[in-house]
Structure 1
């Protein structure tokens, strides 16, 4: 950029373009690369619809991706990681893959997400032990709002999925809401109790969000864990975890798998050797393709 800020070069993507490099000057942006037009022209890319749902003191942003056509489509509720990540107006290959496969995708930024101010970001701190955490309320409201606004979304064929915090939420939502006919839980936290001793951030991350620790209040730490209510899960669930995940170690997925198996829930466990927490984004191309294939096969079987 120029020292006076009057011009700069930047990279940007949109929901239906993986990205280009742009020159900005005098209030105008001009693309200086054409890296992805061939790709964009060769596939069907979807631009989402956006709406908001209110809560006391704020609102939740929601996006809905729908494939071409007029027929009803199965619904996939996606929950991002973090929880301080966010969905937005950039390109996200996963949603395009799912819409191309014939699904309607619902995504939102519940309380706990970044991008909407400090209060929104910290809106889940100290709440995961409660019976009605605000993020569960927000995600439920986002799904309900999408189903009301977009009649093509099939209310009888709803799946849910997410990774990391999204995996944590997938397990919590399926324990609390019987609408889901299919679930994919990836690299999630399912027991804060064991996470404290096994994760590379286990000594501080749960303390910050739970506002207590395993030593101070083991009962509260356990109550905030999806495993504490996993016996209520009846949704067929695919659990995906990487063997070299140090952020949410694979023992987390193994514990959830064991509980679901013991309760007779239809469940599968897909392990990726040699991969870490970022496998879905930075893993080997072979494993990333296999992951997509497994997700689509699992949802396709149950939806």
Structure 2
């Protein structure tokens, strides 16, 4: 904990509860990257493993935020730091649809999986070109909107060796009227209710493109997730399972949409262990 003096623009440290922990653990400093995509300047960050050596080849994990109207920045994200400590290069960005850059930038209604997908692929290309990454060992993960986007990504490219997603949407049609976010969210985001514009809702659903998925998938979903109901995960899991794709479903009881943030410690630990084991297996 720090105290900030607004008059002098200075701060002083008040506590050091974790000093002993950090004496034995590595804290990666985010490397900030700006790049152009779809006519705008975007921000991204990269975490490098300890003693990074550009002559080596490292596995990497792309992490996609939820929302979509949220952001990433250069603060400490525990799970990303955990992966960096295990030797992964971790990278993350703010694609179109996110916050801070203005309402026009954030408005991807009716365009899910288009400019946002292009932004993420542009950033991925940049990171792969700039850092010592083994292109055959790159994974992608995300939750909520990030879970939607990971599903979209692996149904539109095979460049990722493994995928993990949690708390996501796979079918905008069955999502209609079943989420605690309210009945208007789906139609607003896709360009109309299933009754008004069925094709738009289906075209923007990862489930429609499930036949193209070949990437090993890990599903983690909370039983009491009423924001993105668990049936959303079950549908895509069933589809890829029937298609012979390597997959695993982790059903978390007693947790909701906020599992990764406010879930019980044992549940959050279970989630991170499952993700890390899955990544280690395929990367």
* Fold match (TM-score > 0.5): yes
Contact 1:195 1:202 survives alignment (8 Å) = no
* Further displaced range: 50-59 or 261-270: 50-59
Alignment of 1:241-280 (within 5 A): 241-280=221-260
Aligned to 1:125: 109
Quote the offset at 1:24 in angstroms: 1.4
Partner SS state of residue 120, structure 2: helix
Q: Confirm or deny that 1:29 pairs with 2:18.
A: no
Counting matched residue pairs gives 279
Query: d(CA) in 2 for partners of 1:238 and 1:64?
Result: 23
- Give me the TM-score of the superposition, normalised by structure 2: 0.95
Query: d(CA) in 1 for partners of 2:199 and 2:215?
Result: 26
* Further displaced range: 74-83 or 54-63: 54-63
Alignment of 1:6-155 (within 5 A): 20-35=1-16, 36-69=18-51, 70=53, 71-122=56-107, 124-128=108-112, 133-150=114-131, 152-155=132-135
Quote the offset at 1:27 in angstroms: 3.1
Query: d(CA) in 1 for partners of 2:19 and 2:72?
Result: 23
Query: d(CA) in 1 for partners of 2:81 and 2:40?
Result: 29
Aligned to 1:195: 175
Query: d(CA) in 1 for partners of 2:32 and 2:203?
Result: 34
Q: Deviations over 1:49-72 (max 9, x none)?
A: 111221243122111111023132
Q: Which runs of 5+ in 1 are unaligned?
A: 1-19
Q: Which runs of 5+ in 2 are unaligned?
A: none
Partner SS state of residue 134, structure 2: strand
The CA RMSD over aligned residues, in Å, is: 1.3
- Give me the TM-score of the superposition, normalised by structure 1: 0.89
Contact 1:60 1:142 survives alignment (8 Å) = no
* 2:165 aligned to which of 169, 176, 185: 185
Query: d(CA) in 2 for partners of 1:34 and 1:46?
Result: 21
Q: 1:50 to 1:288 in 2, by over 3 A?
A: same
Quote the offset at 1:41 in angstroms: 2.8
